[in-house]
A and B are shown apart, each in its own frame.
Chain A
Amino acid sequence: MTPYITVTPGERGSGHAHLFARLEARRSLKDIEPRLFPDNGGPENGEVVEIFGPEGTGKTELLYLLLSRCILPLSAGGLELSVIFVDADFSLDLFRLVSILDNRLHTTAPSGGPDEALLRSCLSRLLVLHCSSSSQLLLTLHFLETSFASRPDQSLLLIDSISAFYWLDRAEGRTSYSKQEEKLNKCSELLGRLLRDYKITVFATSSSAPSPSPAPSHSSAPSPSSAPSSSAPSPSLDQDKPYLCRAWQKLVSHRLTCSKSEIVPKMATTTASSLMGPKRRRATQFTVHCSSRNKGSRINHFTVTDRGVEFITELNQD
């Protein structure tokens, strides 16, 4: 039994605005990126999408794609929504995001190029929070509750990444397994409540599982991305296995699994890579496998260019 006290907010005025905000329908993000999700299977209000994969497989690029779609104005094909970005990995590259936004704005408004003010207004719809520990993440989520309550236009919460504090928590929890997962469990519980009460949508990235057995330092878990010259080995089953706590697993309703492959067939020796010029960049093809709970799955291929993620429509490559 959890003892709690119910407190009537004393100095925050009436609870009416608060109540309204809650009742007012939040914008659904079902059509945030129709090309990514199975037909009619986009994330509903109150659902969680996990973007999962090892380093360099386009997770962050996908996140930028979704982020830019949300904060771009309606005129540029966006949704004009506010987004909260919880940056736990210190990985947000604002310059990259700006160049993606720039490109998108440019294509929709070719006359005179993108407007600086327009860009600023896009960026002002983005709210960034840096977290450096899981307790801070928990407190931040508590803090965000008030923000969600008062602003119905905030419908998307991005967390990059939810697995950032995995090892720190493991160390803090010492030998007790439940202690190790305690923080993330609490975060998940709270997130679950926020999802239920405020109908927000959550996108979170999660890096692939660390090797579960003590691996020797110089032969750690295979990461296809960091061996660019070899043909990418398929991720082992081990890496695909979810390793974050069950409470978090239960929240996730869509899972985007990212992987990377080189189309250029033979690139076995490192010396051959001297031949690679900038135009070979297109050779790197990313694959995202989307599996939604009860809604089937879908596989997409995309490349990354200056404009951000570009989907490959014909699926005849393998």
Chain B
Amino acid sequence: MVVLRAHMCPGLELQLVRDLRECVCNAYLCVKALLAIRRVLLAQHTAFPVSGADLYEDLLSSTAILSTGHPRLDELLDSGLYTGELTELSGGPGTGKTQVCFGVAVHIALHLKQGVIFIDTTGGITATRLHQMLQTESSSLEEQIAALQRIHVFQLFDVFSLLDCLCSLRRSGLQPVAVGGACVRAVIIDSVSAVISPLLGTRHTEGMSLMMQVAALLKALVKDFSVAALVTNHVTRSVGGAVRPALGVSWSHLPRTRLLLEGPDRSTHSFSSLRSATLIKSSRQPCHMRVEFDLSWWSRSKEVPSAKRKHS
């Protein structure tokens, strides 16, 4: 039995159903048409069921692990960023989140020769720094230029433009930005909390909804186009002094893998480039795994490690 009720599909309101019933009473033919309409509505708007076996097959062929370019971080992430997943870096100010993002972007663009979309919401991106990192990795100018062309930068400063950006990326299938034959395999957002956290508070419900909308779009983008996403987040300090990622519980479900970056102990006056990363959420590796890494790794020169000084 097929029962046509109000509100069964979007747009199928009470009055419409009444009209349709009259139609059905008048001419038997309409039933077929009605059924067809229902079928079309269901076909167009329901989720498409996929068998687990097919899904697995697809995943096996489309999943890639993108190395971050830093051996210690790869160790922590079980060899790198997985496509189709969201990885989060959280940490306080100056803990190296942006440096890690730069390093990942450079590695993917230069060594893996894949496109990267870098969404900068803090104004923190500096192409000069990207270029420096490239110079330590490759001595060929053509390679450096090609890698720089594979990194696509969006500079956005509010959540609405972030939504616009994700929507248009989704609509275009990440394609128009992929010049030079490199398809986009990674989306980096630095930082996601900079645009979202100002919303949470005064207009809490609206802020939460916008956050979830960003999350839903991002997850769909990542799944549908099989790209890896890397986002950065701030941290909050609880009363006990323990540090945890910001944006609260609703956000905490979204990233598949979360890393907490911490800086060196600042009690002395020395400022080293040593940082530590702790795995706080993962479905593959034991949690609380911790590695130490050096931010100057990305500016190492081949002969004299960590002695390189900034020049422009």
Residues of A within 8 A of B (CB): 2-11, 15, 54-56, 71, 84-86, 89-91, 93-98, 120-132, 135-136, 139-140, 142-143, 147, 166-168, 170-171, 186, 207-208, 210-211, 213-223, 225-230, 268, 270, 273-274, 276, 278, 280-281, 284
Nearest chain-B residue to A141 (Cβ)?
B46
Docked complex Cα distance between A2 and B236 (Å) = 51
Interface of A is mostly: mixed
Which A residues touch B167, using CB under 8 A? Answer: none
**Would A171 and B286 count as touching, CB distance under 8 A?**
no
**Residues of chain A within 8 A of B21, CB atoms compared:** 3, 5
- Indicate whether B31 reaches chain A with its CB closer than 8 angstroms: yes
Are B250 and A124 touching (Cβ within 8 A)?
no
CB-CB < 8 A to B32: which residues of A? Answer: 10-11
Q: With the chains together, A54 CA to B220 CA distance in Å?
A: 22
User: Would you call A186 and B4 a contact (CB within 8 A)?
Assistant: no
Q: Collect the chain A residues with CB atoms within 8 Å of residue B47's CB.
A: 86, 129-132, 136, 140, 143
Would you give the shortest CB distance from A245 to chain B, in whole angstroms? Answer: 16
Report B's interface with A, CB cutoff 8 A.
1-10, 14, 17-18, 20-21, 24, 31-32, 34-35, 41-42, 45-53, 55-56, 59, 63, 196-202, 204-206, 208-213, 216, 219-220, 222-223, 234, 236, 238, 240, 242-250, 252-253, 256, 258, 262, 276, 278, 280-281, 283-290
Closest residue on chain B to residue A121 by CB atoms: B53
Question: Contact at B52–A2, with CB atoms within 8 Å?
Answer: no
Identify 11 new A-B residue pairs, CB closer than 8 A, beyond the known A6-B1, A220-B249.
Answer: A7-B2, A128-B51, A210-B248, A217-B248, A220-B200, A220-B236, A226-B252, A227-B238, A274-B276, A276-B288, A281-B288
CA distance A147 to B49 in the complex (A): 11
* Alpha-carbon distance A171/B234, docked complex (angstroms): 25
Check B213–A94 contact: CB distance below 8 A: no
Q: Are A128 and B209 in contact (CB under 8 A)?
A: no
Docked CA distance A281–B287 (Å): 7
B-side binding surface: helix, strand, loop or mixed? mixed
In the bound assembly, the distance between CA atoms of A139 and B198 in angstroms comes to: 35
Please name 30 pairs of A and B residues whose Cβ atoms are closer than 8 Å in the assembled complex, sorted by A.
A3-B5, A3-B6, A3-B14, A10-B32, A11-B32, A55-B253, A89-B219, A90-B223, A94-B59, A126-B52, A130-B47, A130-B48, A139-B45, A140-B46, A167-B209, A168-B212, A171-B210, A211-B248, A218-B236, A222-B238, A223-B244, A225-B252, A226-B281, A228-B287, A270-B242, A270-B262, A273-B288, A276-B290, A278-B289, A281-B288
